[in-house]
Structure 1
Amino acid sequence: MCDEEATVASVDECRQALQELASRLEANAERNGMVNLDRTLACRLTDLGTAFHGRISGGRLIGLEDGDDPKAKIALSTTSDDLITLVQGRLDLPKALAARRVSISASPFDLLKLRKLI
């Protein structure tokens, strides 16, 4: 049995986490210089059956809105709780990808550029 109690973060908590991620990406872009990446992004929360979408431009996450973008060039799928812990830095992205707790669909070149942002 798992020692941790299963919880589900709310849509509002996930929206706030994505706004925090947007702020962090902007700070990284300012500190590390602009990354040449202009792509649509969808974040799909599998346990809530909801999604958010926006655009990564110049290393910044902009235009974050509710709803999915099925044509997004970069798509992240995870649970609400894993999104929260990922943004808080309590979940390591490479380990989460290896454990299939997080899935990212993007071209190999976009993945390399994303690494520089995060």
Structure 2
Amino acid sequence: MATIQECREALDRLSGDLTRSGDGARGTAGFDRSLSCHVTDLDQTFTGRLDGGRLRVATVTPGPPAAKAEIRLAMTGDDLLALVAGELRFARAWASGRIRLEAGFRDLLRLKSLL
């Protein structure tokens, strides 16, 4: 089972991957959204912002998200690590219910190009 620290590091790596990606940088220009990622097996929520291709985690709190972010993710810690490592395909995991994503339709289209 993944630890809170491993999940935080995975989110930092994901942020770096988005920043280095040429398509990601173009696709996120002017894209500023609040984001929460609830790690279900640890019952911890990482909250922050996705801004200009950079994911900035501001807080980690116990339990489900206290406030409704514009982009909401939920998954196990192991799935988060596998996703960032490239071992888990986002679309397949989302379609099978391993990863839950809630966002507005326009945001979903933009995220599709990033993930």
3-state SS of 2:18 partner: helix
Q: Structure 1 residues 69 and 59, CA, compared in 2 at 3 Å: closer, same or farther?
A: farther
1:5 corresponds in structure 2 to: none
Give structure 1 stretches of 5+ with no counterpart: 1-7
Deviation at 1:70, TM superposition (A): 1.9
Give the Cα–Cα distance (whole angstroms) in 2 for the partners of residues 61 and 12 of structure 1. Answer: 16
1:17 corresponds in structure 2 to: 10
Give the Cα–Cα distance (whole angstroms) in 2 for the partners of residues 115 and 27 of structure 1. Answer: 17
How many corresponding residue pairs?
Answer: 109
Give the Cα–Cα distance (whole angstroms) in 1 for the partners of residues 76 and 50 of structure 2. Answer: 21
Query: Of the candidates 102, 106, 110, which is equivalent to residue 105 of structure 1?
Result: 102
TM-score, normalised by the number of residues in structure 2: 0.87
Give structure 2 stretches of 5+ with no counterpart: none
3-state SS of 1:86 partner: helix
Larger Rg: 1
Query: Of the candidates 50, 54, 63, which is equivalent to residue 56 of structure 1?
Result: 50
1:77 equivalent to 2:71? Answer no
Q: Structure 1 residues 25 and 64, CA, compared in 2 at 3 Å: closer, same or farther?
A: farther
1:37 equivalent to 2:31? Answer yes
3-state SS of 2:33 partner: strand
TM-score, normalised by the number of residues in structure 1: 0.85
Give the Cα–Cα distance (whole angstroms) in 2 for the partners of residues 27 and 11 of structure 1. Answer: 25
1:93 equivalent to 2:87? Answer no
Residues 36 and 47, structure 2, Cα contact 8 Å, conserved in 1? yes
RMSD over aligned CA atoms reads 1.4
Shift >3 Å, 4+ stretches: none
